[in-house]
């Protein structure tokens, strides 16, 4: 019996480029085709990334009080979300927070700060943190995410030892004005170009579930393909109370899988990360999504909690994958004896029906989720 998605995967492996018609077929596929779609996408994933999963760890260097008006963001101008708000972490605290993720298996640390973009002083501050991290953990990749860059700033980050720069396109160019009015899609593209010109690996992705159409999704994914993003994080909208998109629940677990499959077919050899919101939107299909995506964030996000880090690592091992860069694949059969991992009755896919505000890790005195 002819299998459309298996045939599509074979054509991709032979060097074909995904077309708009094929992309629509992925997004509009029926529920009874879902396993065929995942199996076909998994062939591409296994060909390029074998059974490895890249583990990334976020450190929120500066939280909240952003002057931009991005509708999806809990840190936006005018947000009433009750998130942690703090100014720059001290360099030693930033490195200590990063070390928690590294010890848990992260091979990339993402240093993130709220705001439209960094001043030159901010860039120097983060460059110092990058240098300290690289001195202590030379094998670990460091990705900076500081907003819209000015010319020359990416070079300063690269010189400090940074490996990558993240700046997401988030949605299509046509849809961009509907989610933000304080900067443009073109400014985001230019920032990614600055990163590439400086020799930084470009990391740029999406936020889905904001009311975009299938055509918007395809436009955004094809724009990322044209931009040459080395890593594509797919975020699933977390509709924080107190933001314009509060109460927006437009995704199903199956549609989340289709979106991940679209990215895999469009960019077969690109790192694909199932990122923020995976717990509440993929829910029990997270393990299945690992057969499409080859990367995830461990533990918590910028302003919300994720599932327990030990559960992430157990999910990787239980599905026959290994953490990229680990010397030994460890089975996490029991949580470590750490207060941050005990009495966690609120952790698990079944309870992620609302956003849990982050109250641990960077900016607090509570142990992080790693």
Q: Is 256 a catalytic residue?
A: no
Query: For residues 165 and 229, is the Cβ–Cβ distance under 8 A?
Result: no
Spot the catalytic one: 110, 180, 256, 267. Answer: 110
A 10 A CB-CB count for 159 gives 13
Helix, coil or strand: residue 328: coil
Q: Is 180 a catalytic residue?
A: no
Q: Is 145 a catalytic residue?
A: no
Spot the catalytic one: 70, 145, 180, 256. Answer: 70
Separation of alpha carbons 38 and 291, rounded Å? 7
Q: Is 203 a catalytic residue?
A: yes
Query: For residues 228 and 271, is the Cβ–Cβ distance under 8 A?
Result: no
Q: Is 110 a catalytic residue?
A: yes
Spot the catalytic one: 156, 273, 278, 358. Answer: 273
Spot the catalytic one: 45, 76, 125, 143. Answer: 143
Spot the catalytic one: 180, 203, 256, 267. Answer: 203
Separation of alpha carbons 133 and 229, rounded Å? 24
Helix, coil or strand: residue 201: strand
Separation of alpha carbons 301 and 307, rounded Å? 10
Runs of H (alpha helix) within the chain: 4-13, 20-27, 34-49, 91-103, 120-136, 153-160, 185-197, 214-227, 253-266, 278-281, 286-289, 309-318
HSE value, Cβ hemisphere, 13 Å, CA-based, for 366:
13
Spot the catalytic one: 45, 66, 125, 267. Answer: 66
Catalytic residues: 66, 70, 73, 110, 143, 203, 273
């Amino acid at each position: 019996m002819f299998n459309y998605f298996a045939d599509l995967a074979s054509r991709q492996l032979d060097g074909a480029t995904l077309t708009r018609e094929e992309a629509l077929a992925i997004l509009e596929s029926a529920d009874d085709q879902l396993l065929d779609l995942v199996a076909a996408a998994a062939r591409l994933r296994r060909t390029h990334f074998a059974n490895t999963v890249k583990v990334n760890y976020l450190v929120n260097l500066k939280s909240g009080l952003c002057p931009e008006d991005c509708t999806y963001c809990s840190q936006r101008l005018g947000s009433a979300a009750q998130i942690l708000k703090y100014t720059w972490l001290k360099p030693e605290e930033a490195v200590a927070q990063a070390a928690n993720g590294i010890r848990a298996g992260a091979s990339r640390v993402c240093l993130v700060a709220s705001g439209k973009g960094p001043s030159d002083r901010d860039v120097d501050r983060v460059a110092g943190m990058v240098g300290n991290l690289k001195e202590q953990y030379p094998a670990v990749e460091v990705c900076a995410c500081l907003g819209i860059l000015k010319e020359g700033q990416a070079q300063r980050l690269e010189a400090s030892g940074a490996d990558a720069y993240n700046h997401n396109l988030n949605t299509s160019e046509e849809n961009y004005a509907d989610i933000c009015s304080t900067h443009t899609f073109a400014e985001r593209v230019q920032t990614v170009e600055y990163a590439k010109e400086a020799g930084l690996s470009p990391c740029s992705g999406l936020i889905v579930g904001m009311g975009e159409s299938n055509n918007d999704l395809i436009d955004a994914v094809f724009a990322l393909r044209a931009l040459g993003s080395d890593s594509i994080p797919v975020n699933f909208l977390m509709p924080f109370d107190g933001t314009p998109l509060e109460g927006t629940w437009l995704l199903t677990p199956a549609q989340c899988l289709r979106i991940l499959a679209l990215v895999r077919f469009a960019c077969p050899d690109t790192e694909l990360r199932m990122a923020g919101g995976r717990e509440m939107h993929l829910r029990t299909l997270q393990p299945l999504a690992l057969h499409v995506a080859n990367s995830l964030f461990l533990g918590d996000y910028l302003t919300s909690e994720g599932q327990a880090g030990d559960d992430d690592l157990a999910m990787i091992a239980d599905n026959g994958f290994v953490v990229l860069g680990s010397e030994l694949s460890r089975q996490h059969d029991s949580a470590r004896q750490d207060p941050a991992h005990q009495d966690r009755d609120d952790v698990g896919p079944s309870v992620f029906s609302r956003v849990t505000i982050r109250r641990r890790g960077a900016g607090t005195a509570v142990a992080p989720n790693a």
